[in-house]
Chains A and B, each alone.
Chain A
Amino acid sequence: MALVMGSLQLGIIYGLLAIGIYITFRILNIPDLTCEGTFTLGLAISAVVTRLNHPYIAILVALVFGMIAGAITGLLQTKCKIHPILAGILVMSGLYPVNLAILGGSPNLSLMNSNTIFRNCIDISRSLGLGPDATKIAVSLIVTVAVVIILAKFFKTHTGLAIRATGDNEDMVRASSIDADRMKILALAIGNGVIAICGAMITQYQNYADINSGNGTLVLGLASVIIGEVIFFRRNITLSLVAAVVGSIVYRFIIALAMRLPFFDASYLKLVSAVIVGIALSLPAIKSGISLLNTKKGGSQNA
């Protein structure tokens, strides 16, 4: 039961990361490494502000600074014409000392004695008869669902549509009198803002912040997005956002089950994620290879 509850809670919160990755990777078509830095940025900011006894404001501050970091990546890509992947790497690596400084120079920070959103809500809901696990799920759900609803609405506005088209056909976007550069910057800002919220929630959930938490978030998010697509296919924008969250939950369950295997070490997680993503992204190539083989076989039979 603890396993189910834990996976569900983590899956819902990490669903935000999957949404952020979905925006940059699927909508904008850019594998954006900034996320590794912005996740930790959100985490660090949230930890510090929560220690100042403002757990709710912590989330908002994380969002703002995550968006700024994403916008910087966007500016490097569009105005400075730096290769998208390199622009992400530059910001990610530049953020490391910033994050360390926010954490006060130490690699981790404990929130054991602080009033987090989760503690706050558990106190309130206890009087309503809700257990701590149910409350944690409820809190995570409220945040994630709110983000999904807002983004689903946003991507149906003119600006949202323009962002989706920018990842699809930049020529056409320019021809429709839309500033494609601005759309890219905006999308990167939104994606990284959401990822920073994810980091901010995680730190309050696990009651500590660690400077290395961001490592591997891109692959982790990609794995969630891809699992979600396998379950839901790629349909409209709202379903795709929901799919990313569901993918993240399923991913957490897979990890939790794998962890119960006797030979499985926690450090294998990244390998598992990398293999999932690697296989999923090469599926189209494998499929066309197989169909080519079949065609060839058929040809020799008919000859």
Chain B
Amino acid sequence: MLNINGITKIFAKGTPNEHMALNNLSLNLDKGEFVTIVGSNGAGKSTLFNAICGTFFVDNGTITLDGRDITYLKEHKRSKIIGRVFQDPMRGTAPNLTIEENIALAYARVNHGPLGKALNKKDVALFKEKLKAFDMGLEDRMKTKVGLLSGGQRQVVTLLMCTIVPPKLLLLDEHTAALDPATSDKIMKITNDIIKEFNLTTLMITHNINSALKTGTRTIMMDEGQIILDISGEERKNMQLNDLLTLYSQRSHKVFDNDRMLFNE
């Protein structure tokens, strides 16, 4: 499904600040795989997502999605087949538009008549039904401006916007990290339900190692722009937090220094 072949990205090339964010990285995902990504700050996790989304073009290597070479495809064209939810709840929605307008904008990815009415009864009924399934009470607030919603509610709207037209690839960039634990659990449950329902190929960055091992079907660990660990199946099932940390130290010759990951339940 997703084939990343030897991509490299160097920031500030040719200056003293030169920084290799992605180092000849390759990754292959099958359809329906749900991969969790862990790694310390600056390991290149978000950079990898930016490369996949086309926020910038890579210096080297190719990215293929569903058989189509998207290495040099523009960002807004890729977003037709890639859904992305950010950590910051503000980034995924337009605050001054209503809930239904936000979703309608995302829904227009498929039925796109440029001068067609953005909101029609049939679509709004569909949005309502979808929101109702999330059980957040949002279905009664379709005409509320999204700027007035809480962070968790905004993330739910963003999730729906990313998946109302099922994407070929879903990218979750620590999308529950800015939320309180209870809301975070709820959003994670909704996320899992959606991924299962559409059998979405998913990449999820998380700082929570335990949930990284429990969620999804495969876990990769990144360090200095490379994948240093890639586990799935039985090996992953038997993996404990401590094993993972030992492996990390062995592979990266560093001690795991991210408190946030260790102290998270």
- Mark A residues whose CB is within 8 Å of B: 154, 156-162, 164-165, 168-169, 171-180
Contact = CB atoms under 8 A, between A and B. Distances in A.
Given A160-B118, A176-B161, A165 B76 contact: no
Contacts of B77: 177
B94 A158 contact: no
Contacts of B76: 173-174, 177-180
Interface residues of B, number: 34
Interface string B14-27: 00000000000000
B95 A158 contact: no
Contacts, number: 84
B94 A172 contact: yes
| Residue picked from A168, A173, A175, A180, most chain B C-beta under 10 Å | A175
Interface of B: 74-77, 79-80, 83-84, 86, 90-97, 101-102, 104-106, 108-109, 112-119, 161-162
A176 B106 contact: yes
B53 to A, nearest CB: 8
7 contacts: A157-B115, A161-B105, A165-B94, A169-B93, A172-B102, A176-B108, A177-B79
B114 A178 contact: no
Given A156-B117, A176-B79, A176-B105, A165 B112 contact: no
A153 to B, nearest CB: 9
A158 B97 contact: no
Given A177-B76, A177-B109, 7 more contacts: A156-B118, A161-B104, A161-B105, A162-B105, A165-B94, A172-B91, A177-B77
Contacts of A177: 76-77, 79-80, 109
Contacts of A159: 114-115
10 nearest A-B residue pairs (beta carbon): A168-B94, A161-B118, A177-B80, A165-B94, A169-B94, A177-B79, A159-B114, A158-B108, A174-B76, A176-B106
